[in-house]
Structure 1
């Protein structure tokens, strides 16, 4: 008889539980029937509390569940239900108390930790909330579903991983760890926008999720959303789990924003705590170099290679200080480092080759120097993607688009702001010198090589690549005056973060923008464009032996760089023909030989009065991030104009690639050539 009674009670409990979702009123009535038959039955009391919450009687539910939790402190379902009702009624203190009891007994309950973090924030206990979020993430990391998804991601089985995570998030939509993992998976598939939205949601769900915030900052940097990245970095460094990596990522954001001095302070503070950090020494060296503090930069780079003799990038950073010459001891140290490195250490190896190339060039051993430059470039070229023929086709499509009739047919439009001055050309063409001269004028602010125009252009090109338009010309022709105004305003707004003074004009020195001058004039008709040009052999060889950290994939092969220069000359000649006078050309050789005359011509083009400070540009202490940062802090010298002649025996591939461009310089070759 007793067994039959127990079985009936269990069946009634199960039935009441099933009713909760579809008929909470019926579940409440059945639970009370059970309690009349079995007063104080814990599961019936739990169903009663749940049903009261679902029928809108939160106050009574809270009272019942609190009593149940006191009487059954190890009943985890009761504690969880109590915490939810307490949260819903605004009783954060009681919610936290219930959750603390629950998580002590079941530390793997991720959802309990995350809810606790929210309630702790309501109570103003921010640091405790942060720790609760971190505990929730730790608990989630042991979730078998998430572990399976992570394995799938690492094996690049993205479809399988996404399916696992999306199914899990259907059941647990507020799981911050699963949301962040899905964001990373989608980022690895190449969708930055969707990935960023998911990681932002993960951080919103669990503000103390440090790894998610760190990842979000990196995504924001990738998207060039620098103010947002800094805001998150400022939060990250306040984490109760102190991590030097948080300070480093904040410093990297500050560097991207041009805030070199505060970034340097972070590096120095970290080095005082732990001097044996070659990467931090190198970062500090970059800051000191940019600020013109050459002695301090040399010291920092020397410290980096002292602590890690095989650190190729630090050696290259030291060699790349144009006013530093590495001696015999340095050459021996680099050769020893090179001999000790395993083949898979390609980054260190090619940096050491470039460094040895520079050291041996300074020693006038040009044959050995060339061998090292060639070895470094060969390794680097194998690590990047650049299709010279495809690039030429893109340049030709642009040139064929922006003809005089096409420009006339597009008519007026774009943002009328006169603020931007674009300096375009190839790297190592003298563009930093032009920038430094102009930035010494009271009306002009120097910024840096800004990526915003390239981001806009890439977004437009994607519309062709994705099939929305059949070709580039059709896509550009589709831009209405309103579209052009919006795009121009976007550029002005996105670059505002880089402007630190009240000067009315600013410089964008991204050299690759020569590919987009037609677009620039469509969306910013009053912008000025300066083409900084240098003798093709001098410019191309200087670029080939200058290792660029990123963005110049054409520069690691003499043929590639020669063809790139040839495409550039053809493109600029085409636009000169379509829009005469729109672009002002500065020849490096003329600038260094007849500086004042060329500066006056430049200022006349910009509509600015002559200022003597432009001739004393080397006294300007602004931050300069390019490879010419030390050179532009000295008066003009002509020593570098014909350095390529020391390597002429080996420049046959470059001369062949340049073809008629070489003989025609400084003019463009005839179209028939």
Structure 2
């Protein structure tokens, strides 16, 4: 191809690319094919045709075309960058990272490749490397809202919440209409207890997108915020439509229900909570009582008194670990916030470290633990400890793991960390069941979206806790939610004594402790102790009668012995 023809073809391709960007994909496709019919090895035509293939959902064809373009013209960073984006869409992060890095080897100043590399590193869990790269990008693009927003996301995932909030705010300063920055800052502000700021940013989202279901539902849910009539009407209108995504429908039903609950319109509120749970139940496998019973049976059979009697002595004792367990909405977050207000305590929140260990044991768990060599147990303990302590402060004497459903894993905890301490939180089961029904949880076995499913699960949980009390060689303190609410200082002193920690009055001011709370309790733990949550179920008594009968037939316990 001589120079004049190449220049002419280049102009044709660039014009077609502009038409493609404007949405005329068919014109672009025909143009690229015409060029390739005359020049089958034209790298730019292959490259742009690869972009069309990616755009219409033919990722494998896109990859082949881009790789062939790279073979012919390996020094174009754009092609490496676009190949990386195709690989990201296929979930091949490590291959994508390699492509973005090759683009930067060709041209170290190629900003799109650097930003995409940072995004891929963040998605693959390499937070530190991603954050460093975003910061380098900001040196040359200090007013880039996109880079600031991506850096904020990475900082949030790395648990640097204050810096994340600051960078979301700076992204908004650079681009006031950055909807996702407003939305993410609103959600983070909620978790940090800054509810007024959260409301402001949700309102900023609604100014751009008045029917934004996430912002609408959040505004309706925030305690202390009085929504405008137009906002309630917008939520109601959206729910009456047929085109709403199921996730949006769940959020809006939940938000309207909480708004009506605050207005003490309890029957109407319950209708919305029921509708939200009805949608949720259609999106996942139904709760299986038999499967749950069999799972609890296996735990009880495996972790017998004989099992613990023959456990080998081990080096890893875990005296500094505190496991706060119990049913969802039983006071675990409140207990965590009280203890995390002590300067010697660090909380890892609802860590996934223990479930990941269990997942690693495979389907043979829990039976696989019986007779497992001490060396293998020690390695499991080290993996857990490394995961749970990666963000702990150097002066932390106690480390909290507050994943409430770890009550199922107390046998594993006793096996790996015989020196650990357990706080078992309990609450009136009717209040617990109602609160679970109102809130949303990401559970493998969703027992919360149906009150009778909750009742069955609750009775199985009680059966397992009775077993643990009989056989578990761990220090375990039972904590009744209602008692904690009524006697805050007395119970707090008792908890600190149980943990061998000195008294610190900051624990009484837990609601002022700076922290990020990602659970549904994020509003409650930002307030001083209040008693209105006790007996809340009576507002919905007529709707809870089937659950009440089931629990009475199961002869539920309200508390176990305090040690």
Q: TM-score, normalised by structure 2?
A: 0.79
CA distance in 1, matches of 2:56, 2:449: 36
Inter-partner Cα distance in structure 2 for 1:550 and 1:287 = 22
Query: Are positions 1:293 and 2:194 aligned together?
Result: yes
State the Cα distance separating 1:254 from its structure 2 match: 1.8
Residue 377 of structure 1 corresponds to which residue in structure 2?
Answer: 277
Match of 1:259 among 157, 160, 169: 160
* Number of the residue aligned with 1:61: none
Cα distance change of structure 1 residues 497 and 137 upon mapping to structure 2, 3 Å threshold: farther
Within the candidate set 245, 249, 260, 1:345 is matched to 245
Unaligned runs of 5+ in 2: 15-41, 75-79, 105-109
1:609 offset after TM fit, Å? 2.5
Displacement after TM superposition at 1:592 (Å): 0.7
Q: Which position in structure 2 is the counterpart of 1:201?
A: 98
8 Å contact kept, 1:140–1:177: no
**Which SS does the other structure have where 1:249 is aligned?**
helix
What SS class does the counterpart of residue 530 from structure 1 fall into? strand
* Contact kept? 1:415, 1:486, Cα under 8 Å: no
Query: Which of 179, 185, 208 is the aligned partner of 1:284?
Result: 185
- Partner Cα distance (1:545, 1:593) in 2: 24
Q: Deviations over 1:478-525 (max 9, x none)?
A: 532222222222222223332245222222222222222222222233
1:597 maps onto 2:490 in alignment? yes
SS at match of 1:555: coil
Please state whether the residue corresponding to 1:393 is helix, strand or coil. helix
Residue of structure 2 in register with 1:441 after alignment:
342
Change (3 A) 1:149 1:139: same
Match for residue 388 of structure 1? 288
Q: Deviation per CA, 1:368-400: give whole Å up to 9, x if none.
A: 111111111111222234543334432332232
- Contact 2:130/2:154, CA 8 A, preserved across alignment: yes
Deviates more, 1:229-238 or 1:434-443: 229-238
**599, 603, 606: which one aligns with 2:499:** 606
Question: Taking structure 1 as reference, are residues 161 and 105 closer, same or farther at Cα in structure 2, changes over 3 Å only?
Answer: closer
* 3-state SS, counterpart of residue 424 of structure 1: strand
Partner of residue 265 from structure 2, selected from 348, 358, 365: 365
Which whole-Å CA distance do the structure 1 matches of 2:144 and 2:261 have between them? 42
Tell me by how many angstroms 1:262 deviates. Answer: 1.5
Aligned to 2:328: 427
**Match for 2:451 among 540, 546, 558?**
558
Give a deviation string over 1:411-438, Cα, whole Å, max 9, x none: 2236334332221222221112111111
Query: Are 1:632 and 2:529 matched, yes or no?
Result: no
CA pair 549-305 structure 1, distance change in 2 beyond 3 A: farther
Find the aligned partners of 1:141 and 1:241 in 2 and give their Cα distance: 31
- Structure 2 distance, partners of 1:551, 1:232, is 36
**Which structure: larger Rg?**
1
Q: Secondary structure at the match of 1:664?
A: coil
Q: Residue in 2 aligned with 1:645? A: 538
Distance 1:490 1:342, change over 3 A: same
Alpha-carbon separation, structure 2, partners of 1:375 and 1:579:
41
Q: Secondary structure at the match of 1:448?
A: coil
8 Å contact kept, 2:145–2:174 = no
Query: Structure 1 residue 220 and structure 2 residue 124: aligned?
Result: yes
Residues 278 and 609 of structure 1: CA distance in aligned 2, closer, same or farther (over 3 Å) = same
Task: Out of 289-298 and 237-246, give the one that drifted further.
Answer: 237-246
Q: Give CA deviations for 1:16-49 in whole Å, capped at 9, x if unaligned.
A: xxxxxxxxxxxxxxxxxxxxxxxxxxxxxxxxxx
- Distance in 2 (alpha carbons) for counterparts of 1:451 and 1:379: 27
Instruction: Note closer, same or farther for the CA distance 1:482–1:203 as it changes in structure 2 (3 Å cut).
Output: farther
Q: Following superposition of structure 1 onto structure 2, how do residues 463-542 of structure 1 map, counting pairs within 5 Å?
A: 464=363, 471-477=364-370, 479-500=372-393, 502-542=395-435
Flag the 1:199–1:318 CA change in 2: closer, same or farther, 3 A: same
Give how far 1:141 is off. Answer: 4.7
* Aligned counterpart, 1:313: 214
Q: Partners of 2:207 and 2:551 in 1: how far apart? A: 42
Between the aligned partners of 2:147 and 2:282, the Cα distance in structure 1 is 33
Distance 1:385 1:244 in 2: 41
Length-normalised TM-score, structure 1? 0.67
Give 1:405 shift: 1.0
SS of 2:277's equivalent in the other structure is helix
Q: Displacement, 1:161?
A: 8.1
Residue aligning to 1:272: 173
Q: Hey, what's the Cα distance between the residues in 1 that align with 2:418 and 2:302? A: 17
Higher relative contact order (CA 8 A, sep 6+): 2
Q: What is the CA distance between 1:257 and its match in structure 2?
A: 2.7
Q: Give the Cα–Cα distance (whole angstroms) in 2 for the partners of residues 547 and 260 of structure 1.
A: 23
Q: Per the alignment, do residues 402 and 362 of structure 1 end up closer, same or farther by CA in structure 2, a change over 3 Å counting?
A: same
Task: Answer yes or no: is the 8 Å Cα contact 2:325–2:422 preserved in 1.
Answer: yes
Do structure 1's residue 405 and structure 2's residue 302 form an aligned pair?
no
Instruction: Give the length in aligned residue pairs.
Output: 517
Compute the RMSD of aligned alpha carbons: 4.0
Matched, 1:619 2:512: yes
The 8 Å contact of residues 414 and 524 in structure 1, kept in 2 or not, is answered as no
Whether contact under 8 Å (1:538, 1:642) holds in the other structure is yes
Are the equivalent residues in 2 in contact too, given 1:415–1:485 (CA < 8 A)? yes
Rounded Cα–Cα distance in structure 1 between residues aligned with 2:408 and 2:62: 38
Residue equivalent to 2:558: 665
**Contact kept in structure 2, 1:220 and 1:228, CA below 8 Å:** no
Match of 2:151 among 243, 250, 264: 250
* CA distance in 2 between partners of 1:426 and 1:228 (Å): 38
Deviations 1:520-559 (A, max 9, x none): 2222332222222211111121121113477784322223
Change (3 A) 1:295 1:427: same
